[in-house]
Structure formats: C-alpha cells, structure tokens
Amino acid sequence: MRHWGKITLVVLALVVGTAVASKDYILLHLPGWMGPHIDPTHAVTWQRDPAPAIPAGTRPPNIVLIVADDLGYNDISFNGGGVAGGLVKTPNIDALGHDGVTFADGYAGNATCAPSRAALMTGRYPTRFGYEFTPADTHPPAWFPSSVIRTDAMFSRTIANFPTTWEHKTIFDEDAARQPATTAPKGVPSSEVTIAELLRGKGYHTMHLGKWHLGEAKGMRPEDQGFDESLGFMIGGQMYLPESSPDVENSKQPFDPIDKFLWANLPFSVQYNGGQRFHPDRYMTDYLTVQAKAAITANRNRPFFLYLAYNAPHTPLQASKADYDALPQITDHRLRVYAAMIRALDRGVGQVMATLKQQGLDQNTLVIFTSDNGGANYIGLPDINRPYRGWKATFFEGGVKVPFFMRWPARIKPGTRIAGPVSHFDIFATAGDAGNAPLPKDRALDGVDLLPFIDGKQSGTPHQTLFWRSGRYRTVRDGDWKLQALDLPHVELLYDMKADPTERHDVAAQHSDVVAHLDQLLAAHDRASVKPAWPSLIRSPIAIDRPLGTKPKPGETYIYWSN
C-alpha cells in the first residue's frame, strides 16, 4: 500500500510539474485551439455595377486607399533606400510618388496598427473616442467564460514573463488585470463616421479588402461601418500561407514572444461580408491583389471606394517560395524572407495600377498609398526606418513617419511635393472633398483637406501642431519643435526638427521655455481626450537604436510602450 502511495505521489508530481512547465505553452496556443472552423477555398463574386456605365465626365473620381502594414520608411526605394541595402527596388510604389504628390513629413495617426487605422478611417485622434490601445487578439468563442477567465490578462502576463537578459523588463499591470473584464466589444464605436460612410452617402460603392483591426463585433465590422462589401480578416493579422505549405518560406523570431503567439494561433483565412471563414487560394498578398483587380473590374462603371489593407510586411515573416527564390543575392535568411515580402507587396501595387489603366480608370482615380506605422523592431532587422531613429511602438520618427503618396492625374501634377506635416487623419477630409461629400458638423475633426495645398490654392502648412499618445507616453510636434514626454524613464526629450530631423540631439535643457509651452499643449490635448475604452495591461521597453534580438548597450536610449 505504501508502495502504491509513493507511485501515486510520483505520478501526481509529474502531472503537476508538466502542467506548470507547459502553462505558457497552453496559454500561447489557447486562442488557436478555440478558433472557428475554416472552410476550403471558394470563389468570391463581387457585386457588379450598373450597365450602361455612368459617363466618366459626370461622376466623381474613384478612390483607392492602399495601406501597408509595418512598412519601414527605408523599405521602399523612393526614399533613396530599399531593403537589403537597396538590392530590392519598389518601382511600382515609387511611381505613385513620382506621378503624384509626396508628403515629405507624412505621419501616421499613431505608432501601432489599430489606433493608427482608427485615425485614418475617422479623421480624428483615436483618443477622442477611447481607441488608445491595440486590442489583444485573443478572441475566445462565445461559449468561453471571458468574464471569469480573462484571456487577455493571461496572454499579457505570459508575454511579460518572457525571459530576457535586458535590465529593463516588461511590466505587467496586476491591478488592471484584477478588474472585471469589460463587457463592451473592443473597436471603433458605431457612432464614429468612417470614410466609407462619408462616400457611400454620395453614391460610391464601398469595398474593403484585407486587414480591418477596428472591431469584429456587430456594429464595428466593415459591413456595419459603411462598406457595401468586405473580404478580409477582422483581427490584426493572418498567416500568408499555412506554415507547412511547400510554396512558403518561413522565418521565425525566437527572441520575440509575440512572434511565438502568432505562429501558434493565426489562421490562414478570410471572410466575405461576415460569412463563414475560408482559406484563400494562394499567398495572402497575391490573393488580396487578385481580389482587388476583380473588385475594380466589377465596378468600373460607377464611382467606387476601395480600401486595400495589405497585412504585408507584418509578422509572421512568410514569403512565397517564388519570391524568395528570386533573391539569391541576399544570403541572410530572415532578410531574404522580408525582402521577398516587400517584393510581393510592390508587385501587387503595380498590378492594381495596371488594372485601373486597363479599365480606363487611372486618370480619374485618386490613389493613396501609406503605411499604418513605421517598421517594427521585433523583426530583428536594422535600417528599415533609416535615416530615422526608433520603431513601431515609439513616437520617434522611425515609428510615425511613413511613406505617404497621392496620385490623381486629372488633378495632381506629377512630382508635387508638400513639405509641411500631414497626418493619416487628413485622408478623411481629402477623400470627402474629392467625392463631393460634406463632412460631419456634429464632432471635432482633426484632419484637413489636403487638396487645396496640393493645388497651390492654399499656402502655409496643413498643421501647426500634431499629437500622439499611448498611455503615459505623449508626444507633440508644434512647428519645428517636437517634445516626447515619457513617464518611464521619467524624462522629456526636445528636438529641433528643422536642424535635427533625425532626433539625435536632445535640447530640452537649453530650451526650458519651449518645453513648458509644449507641456501646456499636451495638457490641453489630454483634456480633449477621453478615458481609454479598455486598459493597457503591459508596458514594454523598446530600445530606440537597435532591433530586438540584439545585444543591449550600456546607457542606450529606451522608452516604455503601453498596450
């Protein structure tokens, strides 16, 4: 009996030990295990326009908004750079800048995906309606007791506990995690007016393709926010192909805990107008391109708004084997995969532009190209935001300064350049002007119409002051001055953007009067903002001058990012 008792204790100890050892594994894989069923691939039939065509001379321009995901400032060759030291060119993206207007000081609305897209889609600072942090994409099914077991807190704690040798550790907010889970869905409220709603009111057929990331609950989905048709995914990312596909080359980042979560949980799927999810029939970037071409062709006879939101080159890093094999001159595997992803993105832009021309639409179509934020440190590659410091999830220029082009041959002269600061939220008012759509009068709009500046009818700069905020990390640019106010480390960094556009020299000590003035502007902006609709659970340290996965440097500049 005593013998069996000892065996029982040993077995129990092994079970408990295994459970403890595999806890993080279980938490990282839990969302994927609870994910919905995905159907095999099938065709999508886009709604067709009326026949005969509405005469081109009597209709407003089509509007195509192309947004890349985590595209670094130096990832395109237009800016004198290009991936892998310029080995990979982006001629199709570059052509948009050469053939239209480039905004030299084009800024993202925020330094991370979801808040930036919220600003872009509404023309407002996302802090005006509580969309301050990117929602944690844990997505338990309806039957899961989310009010009792907070998967977002479980996931965030696992990320915070990821081992690191850096002295600056990720901070998990235990107090926030103990609060009851919010029952309100996370996303852009239905009370906000989107570009799609603005244009649909003027007879545009509105279509969304690709990443949404602005809410997947009823009332927050694309088809509830002004889009007649939506084909894509509601969460922050997808696989580009199944990991085991013979047509894909994968690159995993073992130093990034988020990367582990993505590989464990992301599906390879899309859905049409909220229907059953299904597998695309090819590499995701190419699939979205093919569908964009089909959507344009189907609607060539009427004005349309197409929001084409590629998830490239966001992680997980996956390239089609064909694109990877086309770059044998790049010997580093991770860099080669990333470069191949950029190659596919640029090819997609070129095919979309070719389709517009084939359908006789390119002269009277406003095409806007940008990225939701700067390149990310967690891919472990340097120079993607050169010459700027910082990354996605920082308010240094590398995190918020993005490629920003508009092309409209019927109105915009090739080679136009706007030097003053502009922001993603200007797209809302600019699209409204192009589509003859009146702007809402019942709310504060932060964006301005850029067309008068492009035409030369209005002088000066579109914005004197721009703000960014994520928790206790706040930034303002006012004229040539830019102040970053951090809570951790507790410091204020002041840069003269005219003399020092790459933010190398902090001059706060020499200009205390400027710091005081900018602090007042930040305080006023805070008063115009609302409480975040959901809390930040972790604060992560980010080194400004080196990518993740590299050796820490003594005394290096760092910030803490809340999410």
Tens-place pLDDT, residues 56-74 = 678 999 999 999 999 999 9
294-335: per-residue pLDDT in tens? 999 999 999 999 999 999 999 999 999 999 999 999 999 999
Q: Are 444 and 429 in contact (CB under 8 A)?
A: no
pLDDT confidence of residue 144: 56
Structural domain contains residue 533: no
Q: 32 with 265: CB under 8 angstroms?
A: yes
| DSSP states of 35-69 | PPP-BPP----PPPPPSSPPPGGGSPPEEEEEEES
Q: What is the pTM of this model?
A: 0.94
Phi then psi for 406, rounded to 5 degrees? Answer: -135, 135
Assess if residue 180 is contained within a domain. no
Average pLDDT over residues 38-46: 97
Strands (DSSP E) contained in 259-343 are 271-272, 304-309, 317-320
Segment among 27-36, 77-86, 523-532 with least mean pLDDT: 27-36
Asked if the structure places residue 490 within a domain, the reply is no
Q: 558 by DSSP, 3-state: which? A: strand
Query: Residue 204: inside a domain, yes or no?
Result: yes
**Burial label, 190 (beta-carbon count in 10 A; 0-12, 13-18, 19+):** middle
Residue 540's H or E segment, with its range, is strand 538-543
Q: What is the count of structural domains for the chain?
A: 1
Query: Would residue 501 count as lying in a domain?
Result: no
* Residue 532 CB coordination number (10 Å): 17
What is d(CA 385, CA 399) in angstroms, rounded to the nearest whole number? 8
241-278 pLDDT, tens per residue? 999 999 999 999 999 999 999 999 999 999 999 999 99
pLDDT at 79: 83
**Quick check: is 548 in a domain?**
no
Max Cα-Cα span within the chain = 94
CA distances from residue 208 to 186, 222, 291, 301 in whole angstroms, order as listed = 20, 7, 10, 18
Q: Looking at the chain, how many residues does it have?
A: 563
- DSSP code string of 450-495: -HHHHHTSS-S-S-SEEEEEETTEEEEEETTEEEEEETTTTEEEEE
DSSP, collapsed to helix, strand or coil, labels residue 119 as helix
Task: Flag whether 542 is in a domain.
Answer: no
Residue 350 contacts residue 96 (beta carbons within 8 Å)? no
- CA angle in degrees (0–180, nearest 5) for 12-17-18: 100
| Enclosing domain of residue 206 | 34-134+192-463
Peptide bond preceding 387: is omega within 30 degrees of 0, i.e. cis? yes
pLDDT band of residue 181 (cuts 50, 70, 90) is confident
Return all residues near 510 (Cβ < 8 A) that are at least 6 apart: none
**Would you state the structure tokens that stand for residue 511, as one six-digit string?**
């200009």
Identify the CATH number of the domain in which residue 381 sits: 3.40.720.10
Would 545 be classed as within a structural domain? Answer: no
Q: How confident is the model at residue 29 (pLDDT cuts 50, 70, 90)?
A: low
So what's the pLDDT on residue 137? 57
CB 263 within 8 A of CB 252: yes
pLDDT category at 14 given cuts 50, 70, 90 is very low
Tell me the C-alpha distance between 318 and 340, whole Å: 9
Q: What are phi and psi of 122, to 5 degrees?
A: -110, -15
Long-range Cβ contacts of 354-362 (<8 Å, 24+ apart): 355/292, 355/293, 355/296, 355/297, 356/62, 356/64, 356/296, 359/296, 359/297, 359/300, 360/56, 360/300, 361/62, 361/296, 361/300, 362/409
